[in-house]
């Protein structure tokens, strides 16, 4: 086992898959000689050359189209968005081409492309650099979407995404790159469609993902001291949602709290609530509660920014309100 930062875990995954398969290549803004905006591709251009670690112009729609075209020909591109917010400029390519071409071609084309990069609410990055785009992309047919939360699952998910024949979006949180964890020395892959059971419990099911996993676990430490026994699921797969794992937990606890950094309106939690109400409503002993970010552009002011995001004290209060010991 060795201690690895999350950005290094992502780099290791990229390096290992590029070494095994010459059709895998990376493209994006500053991914080459600069090493990526968060150093995920550091030094890879020296190992693989400038054509396999390709610096692109600041033209997201253009290089996304180029990557999709490369995927159609049999290559396996990894597109890094310097900030995932910028990929809104490539939304047409992602939705109308990456998501659809396998189907509109009658299955003649595969689109094995990975789209990854930093997103989420950082620390005073401003509204344009603090967007939570998971709900934007979640509605697009044909995509797989995952959100990593630890160095371990970041590496395993990226390796699986590179090998997958479908377009995969991997959301990385800008505040988790310096998270450090021991990784095994052997090769491993993680499924792109399964939630992770982080903690078993019996009083309430807490579903979360990305950075909010860590806020939830801080809250859980306090809740255990107060006598509560929460079960925690890290969603990981945002499309498809692993609703089976959620329902299995719900059949044990009968109470559900969803914690996300996504906006409340049309967010990931909204979809989970709809599916639970459609199929497992009779398992609920209390209304589902969701803790989501405010439906406003993220303020630059630090105190206002903090007020838009969910913190552990709010999670503790929500559990106490739902669970009567």
Helices 6-20/151-163 angle, 10° precision: 30
Among residues 45, 102, 129, 173, which one is catalytic? 129
Residue 60 falls in the annotated catalytic set: yes
Is residue 191 in a domain?
Answer: no
Q: How many domains does the chain have?
A: 2
| Domain identity same for 222 and 159 | no
Helix (H, G, I), strand (E, B) or coil at 211: coil
In a domain, 188, yes or no: no
Identify the CA nearest to 31 among candidates 49, 13, 19: 49
Q: What percent of the chain has pLDDT over 90?
A: 94
Instruction: Check whether 1 has a pLDDT greater than 80.
Output: no
Do 218 and 98 have their domain in common? Answer: no
Same domain, 203 and 290: yes
Domain-located, residue 189: no
Given 133, 162, 183, the domain boundary residue is: 183
With respect to residue 38, please indicate whether it lies within any of the assigned structural domains.
yes
Q: 135 and 38 in one domain?
A: yes
Q: Does 166 share its domain with 234?
A: no
Q: What is the pLDDT of residues 214-248, one digit of tens each?
A: 999 999 999 999 999 999 999 999 999 999 999 99
**190 within domain boundaries:** no
Instruction: Fill in the DSSP letter of residue 93.
Output: I
Q: Is the pLDDT of residue 325 over 70?
A: no
Q: Are residues 201 and 299 in the same domain?
A: yes
The residue segments making up the domain with residue 83 are: 2-183
Digit-coded pLDDT (tens) for 146-204 = 999 999 999 999 999 999 999 999 999 999 999 999 999 999 999 999 999 999 999 99
Could you tell me which residues are beta bridge partners of residue 4? 181
Of 159, 183, 207, the last residue of a domain is: 183
Query: Does 244 reside within a domain?
Result: yes
CATH of the domain at 9: 3.40.50.970
Residue 177 belongs to a domain: yes
223: domain CATH number is 3.40.50.920
241 vs 70: CA distance, rounded Å: 29
pLDDT band at 128 (very low <50, low <70, confident <90, very high): confident
**Active-site annotation holder among 12, 60, 261, 305:** 60
């Amino acid at each position: 086992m060795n201690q690895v930062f999350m950005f290094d875990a992502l780099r290791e995954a990229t390096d290992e898959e590029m070494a095994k398969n010459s059709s895998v290549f990376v493209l994006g803004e500053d991914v080459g000689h600069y090493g990526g905006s968060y150093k995920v591709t550091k030094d890879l251009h020296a190992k693989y050359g400038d054509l396999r670690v390709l610096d692109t112009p600041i033209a997201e729609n253009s290089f996304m189209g180029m990557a999709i075209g490369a995927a159609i020909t049999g290559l396996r591109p990894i597109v890094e968005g310097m900030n995932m917010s910028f990929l809104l400029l490539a939304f047409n390519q992602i939705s109308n081409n990456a998501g659809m071409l396998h189907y509109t071609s009658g299955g003649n084309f595969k689109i094995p492309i990975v789209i990854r990069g930093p997103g989420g609410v950082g620390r005073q990055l401003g509204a344009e650099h603090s967007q939570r785009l998971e709900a934007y992309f979640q509605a697009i047919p044909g995509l797989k979407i995952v959100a990593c939360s630890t160095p371990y699952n970041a590496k395993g998910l990226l390796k699986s995404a590179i090998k997958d024949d479908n377009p995969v979006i991997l959301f990385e949180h800008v505040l988790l790159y310096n998270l450090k964890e021991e990784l095994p020395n052997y090769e491993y892959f993680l499924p792109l469609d399964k939630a992770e059971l982080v903690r078993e419990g019996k009083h309430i099911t807490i579903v979360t993902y990305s950075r909010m996993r860590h806020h939830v676990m801080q809250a859980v430490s306090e809740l255990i001291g107060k006598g509560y026994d929460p079960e925690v699921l890290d969603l990981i797969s945002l499309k498809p949602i692993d609703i089976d794992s959620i329902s299995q937990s719900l059949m044990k606890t009968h109470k559900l709290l969803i914690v996300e950094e996504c906006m409340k309106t049309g967010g990931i939690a909204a979809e989970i609530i709809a599916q639970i109400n459609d199929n497992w409503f009779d398992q609920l002993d209390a209304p589902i509660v969701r803790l989501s970010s405010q439906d406003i552009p993220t303020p630059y002011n630090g105190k206002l920014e903090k007020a838009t995001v969910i913190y552990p004290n709010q999670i503790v209060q929500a559990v106490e309100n739902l669970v009567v010991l």
